[in-house]
């Protein structure tokens, strides 16, 4: 019997699997719908350009967006060990400190103010450049500056400063405003995903089992308590039930977590009934209040050969790869 079942091996699931299995008395089962993170593009930082085109993702798109002339957008969400950290742009950003403070002060989320979460960020980090009030260098997650910046970046920063925008060497430090280099979740020029940082070093732990290609279809609730999960472990296969002695942890992502909760009857009861799901726990907030950011690109033509664009030619890509 397993003590903890964790659904979803994204960053949240990988970190929890690592921390919970630190205690050899706990048995931990980590379930992931996607496969292993074997693909070489995952580990090569520049492979990101290919990731958003569908490798290791669910293949979802949005409903037509009524404020954008009903356009339908690709909505990339990871389906692989490491979750988003295996396919994302590797920008090391914590967001704005004031957002955390607003969660605490305006929404009443005790313990989520920036001063409360900062020690956890520091504990996670193996920052190759900073060790100070905002950064740690002893954690598992590799964080570093870009290793091959181009002169055009410096020209852009100078132009920003000429317009009065300050140069900022650290967007996760005292202030977020300014122009400068992002730090990246990379170590020694390789992606430092949650899988690489939190699972790889503990492969030998006997009390942690990681199962891939397992789709959890429902959380099993008995007498108001989550006691296990229902899953399918091969396409077209029969549903099986696994029991958790202590806890079921839902770390299935911004879309996957509410989806799984709602499939399990946890969510707004009236809505669940209207789509044929029997409610087991009326929880109105589930499946709403999503906040996300759009990516906007400004594309400009350069006066010469100043960017990485040149490497889009096959022979130069091969050379850069070597
Ligand atoms: C294209 C892209 C670019 C991004 N760029 C950046 C960036 O540069 N910097 C940054 O900080 N953040 C970035 N992000 C966001 C970041 O990756 C996410 O915030 C982070 O991965 C969320 O972690 P998570 O563990 O909550 O969920 P996820 O990473 O979404 O992981 C959830 C996991 O659960 C699995 N799962 C879901 N449902 C089930 C189920 N029913 N059964 C079994 N398994 C299931 C999924 O397959 C997935 O692997 C980006 C995200 C994307 C998609």
Q: % helix / strand / coil in the chain, to the nearest 5?
A: 30, 20, 50
The Cα 167–Cα 178 span in angstroms is 5
**Which ligand 1 atom is nearest residue 231's CA?**
42
Q: Name the band, by pLDDT with cuts 50, 70 and 90, for residue 315.
A: confident
CA-to-CA dists, residue 153 to 62, 176, 195, angstroms: 34, 18, 31
**Residue with tokens 């037509």, as numbered in its chain:** 64
The alpha helices in 218-305, defined as continuous H runs, are 253-263, 269-274
The Cα 322–Cα 320 span in angstroms is 5
213 within 8 A of 223, measured Cβ to Cβ: no
Per-residue pLDDT tens over the stretch 121-157? 999 999 999 999 999 999 999 999 999 899 999 999 9
pLDDT of residue 311: 80
> Ligand 1 centre and the CA of 82: distance in Å?
8
CATH number for region 2-34+197-282:
3.50.50.60
Q: Whose CA is nearest to atom 45 of ligand 1?
A: 8
End-to-end CA distance of the chain: 47
**Which ligand 1 atom is nearest residue 51's CA?**
1
Q: Structural domain boundaries of the chain?
A: 2-34+197-282
pLDDT of residue 53: 65
Beta bridge partners of 190: 187
Q: Which residues contact 217 (CB under 8 A, 6 or more apart)?
A: 230, 231, 232, 239, 263
Mean pLDDT within 32-53: 86
Q: Whose CA is nearest to atom 37 of ligand 1?
A: 252
């Amino acid at each position: 019997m397993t003590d903890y079942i964790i659904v979803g091996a994204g960053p949240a699931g990988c970190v929890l699997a690592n921390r919970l299995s630190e205690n050899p008395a706990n048995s931990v089962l980590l379930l992931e719908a996607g496969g292993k993170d074997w693909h070489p593009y995952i580990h090569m930082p520049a492979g990101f350009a290919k990731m958003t085109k569908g490798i290791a993702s669910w293949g979802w798109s949005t409903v037509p967006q009524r404020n954008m002339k009903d356009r339908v957008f690709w909505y990339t969400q990871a389906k692989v060990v490491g979750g988003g950290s295996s396919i994302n742009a590797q920008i090391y950003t914590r967001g704005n400190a004031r957002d955390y403070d607003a969660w605490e002060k305006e929404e009443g989320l005790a313990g989520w103010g920036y001063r409360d979460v900062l020690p956890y960020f520091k504990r996670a980090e193996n920052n190759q450049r900073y060790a100070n009030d905002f950064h740690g260098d002893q954690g598992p997650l590799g964080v570093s500056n870009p290793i091959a910046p181009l002169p055009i970046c410096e020209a852009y920063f100078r132009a920003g400063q000429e317009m009065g925008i300050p140069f900022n060497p650290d967007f996760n430090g005292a202030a977020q405003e300014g122009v400068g280099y992002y730090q990246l979740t990379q170590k020694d020029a390789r992606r430092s995903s949650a899988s690489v940082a939190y699972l790889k070093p503990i492969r030998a732990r006997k009390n942690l089992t990681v199962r891939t290609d397992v789709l959890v279809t429902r959380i099993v609730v008995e007498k108001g308590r989550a006691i296990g999960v229902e899953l399918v472990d091969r396409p077209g296969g029969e549903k099986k039930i696994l029991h958790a002695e202590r806890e079921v942890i839902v770390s299935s992502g911004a879309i996957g977590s509410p989806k799984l909760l709602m499939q399990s009857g946890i969510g707004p009861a009236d809505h669940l009934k209207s789509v044929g799901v029997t409610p087991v726990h009326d929880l109105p907030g589930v499946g709403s209040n999503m906040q996300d950011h759009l990516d906007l690109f400004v594309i400009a033509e350069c006066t010469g050969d100043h960017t990485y664009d040149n490497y889009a030619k096959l022979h130069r890509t091969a050379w850069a790869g070597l």
